[in-house]
Structure 1
Amino acid sequence: MKYKKRSTLLGDMSGLLASILVFVFPFLFMLLNSLKERREANLLNLSIPRVFHWENYVEVFQTNDYVLLKAFKNSMLLTFFSVIGLVVVSSMAGYIIRRRNDRMTRIVNILLMLGLMIPPAVIPTIWVMQCLHVYRTMFGMILIEIALQIPFDIMLYQGFVGTIPVELEEAARIDGCKNGRLFFQIVFPLLKPVTSTIVILNAVTIFNDFTNPLYFLPGTENATVQQTLYNFTGQFSSSYNLLFADVILITLPMFILFIIFNKKIVNGMVAGSIKG
């Protein structure tokens, strides 16, 4: 018994140490260097700044005519409308696929699994967006984010719908409840745990997305927060103090969101495994 407790304690300690190495040290490294002057920050070490330059954060906001504020606006709009679209479409699709057990839903399930495994093809996607006249538009970028995240979200909703008793829906239909009202007034409120998980995970993923806006939403007027990092790096010189300050400002909102709602994320992820 003592040996088992000791091994469990060692396992917990090693997991904590690994977490510190992977998450805490990089964040501490960025924080310390964001408060240094440019020459000191270029040494890229973990030393404490000789003088704390809090004005670095003010300078980051003021760079290029407050481009960071505009980028925050673009990222917030992209994240908000993408998440709303994902919740509405994924919840309805997950519900239908789970409740129907026919050939069509099985084919759709296979396609969803392919969507999880196959990465998007950039050039054909740009061509399709140009044909639809949505390339370099916020609306087109929202559609891209929804398309990329929807397979995983539908899979989560399917699992959770399986925990809702079918008898509840049958009783509502007997009382004359139509399909739309049945879903939005009875089923959807019961999906709150997994919906919270999907909202948080998608918000973090989309807000932190760098590659897709770079390909599908080019242009300085459309820049998202991740693309502002280019403002402080160049071919011949880089302002690492301002770069790290920018990273801290970009990371902080989603980091706080993740810490606050961490339990809801875990609960929503495992809830669908209670029943088959």
Structure 2
Amino acid sequence: MKSSAPRVRGIIAIAISAVVFLVPFVFIFLTASKTAADASRFEFTWPTKFVLLENIAEVFQARDYVIVRAFINSTTLTVTSVTIMVVLAAAMGYVIQRRAGLWTNATQLLILAALIVPTAIVPTIWVMQSVGLYRTMFGMILIEVVGGLPFCVLLASAFVATIPRELDEAAVVDGAGPLRVFFTIVLPLLKPVIVTMIVVQSVGVFNDFTGPLYFLPGSENVTVQATLFNFQSQTLSQWNLLFADVLLITIPPLVLYIFFNRQIVDGMVNGAVKG
């Protein structure tokens, strides 16, 4: 009887997870597949007329194919921001673990403070305007890097602690310098946590709505989340097209999580347990 209890609890947990995560996705799919009249009722029912492909085609054609430009902008923002984040976080995590001292302790305090203190929107906009980075992709990339870097540094630092110092010392004895030790010895060993950082931060940057809204306004700079405004107004809301747009935006992060779910868990658990 006792041996079956963990299995029952596992089944219950899976059922609850399915309800919490799958039901909203099914509702999005069904609403995106309906006509405008059916979607406006917000009923969890099968479409009377299945028009998903037509709705998706209309979403792509809206405002002169703005969603294509939005996907290009979001992809550029995500890839560049996450690449910078991962490299900087790995290097900072390595230095924090290998060179303990006053400066590294102060850096850790600043990283923790960055996780706690919220972003000040108005002062940040003023600073970006002063240096000419407001409404620029490079400025938005810097905002995303600053926002996600503290979390990545904590993950990388915890994982570096699991790497024996003897490997560094052996490489130094063989004549390797600090950069060579990091890039040829340490960085390849950080692959599990790097995958975790890439997936988690990619989803976060790709789904960021408020950041581009405040710091990257303009039709030319539109990101995928901003395209949701295309199908809502004060007088008319095209719910079938809105949910079709949500469905398109949801697919890339969902695919990442499906294919890299195990790597995400391994990277976070290994660093937390061993670090």
State how 1:1-276 maps to structure 2 within 5 Å: 2=1, 4-53=2-51, 54-276=53-275
Q: What 5-or-longer segments of structure 1 have no aligned partner?
A: none
Question: When the two structures are aligned, how many residues end up with a matched partner?
Answer: 274
Q: Which amino acid aligns with 2:29?
A: L
Q: Which amino acid aligns with 2:135?
A: R
SS of residue matched to 2:44? coil
- Tell me the CA shift for residue 175 of structure 1: 1.2
CA contact (8 A) 1:87 1:198 kept: yes
**In 1, distance between residues paired with 2:122 and 2:229?**
23
Q: Which amino acid aligns with 2:27?
A: F
SS of residue matched to 1:45? coil
Q: What 5-or-longer segments of structure 2 have no aligned partner?
A: none
**C-alpha RMSD over aligned residues:** 1.0
CA contact (8 A) 1:71 1:222 kept: yes
TM-score between the two structures when normalised by the length of structure 2: 0.97
- Tell me the CA shift for residue 274 of structure 1: 4.2
TM-score between the two structures when normalised by the length of structure 1: 0.97
**In 1, distance between residues paired with 2:171 and 2:121?**
46
- Tell me the CA shift for residue 41 of structure 1: 0.5
Residue deviations 1:178-215, cap 9 Å, x none?
11111111111111111011011111110010011101
CA contact (8 A) 1:232 1:239 kept: yes
**In 2, distance between residues paired with 1:174 and 1:9?**
52
CA contact (8 A) 1:163 1:274 kept: no
Pick which of 67-76 and 166-175 moved more.
Answer: 166-175
- Tell me the CA shift for residue 10 of structure 1: 3.4
**In 2, distance between residues paired with 1:27 and 1:76?**
23
Pick which of 98-107 and 151-160 moved more.
Answer: 98-107
- Tell me the CA shift for residue 5 of structure 1: 3.4
Q: Which amino acid aligns with 2:167?
A: L
Q: Which amino acid aligns with 2:205?
A: I
- Tell me the CA shift for residue 6 of structure 1: 4.2
- Tell me the CA shift for residue 176 of structure 1: 1.1
Q: Which amino acid aligns with 2:127?
A: V
Identity, % of aligned positions: 49
CA contact (8 A) 1:136 1:216 kept: yes
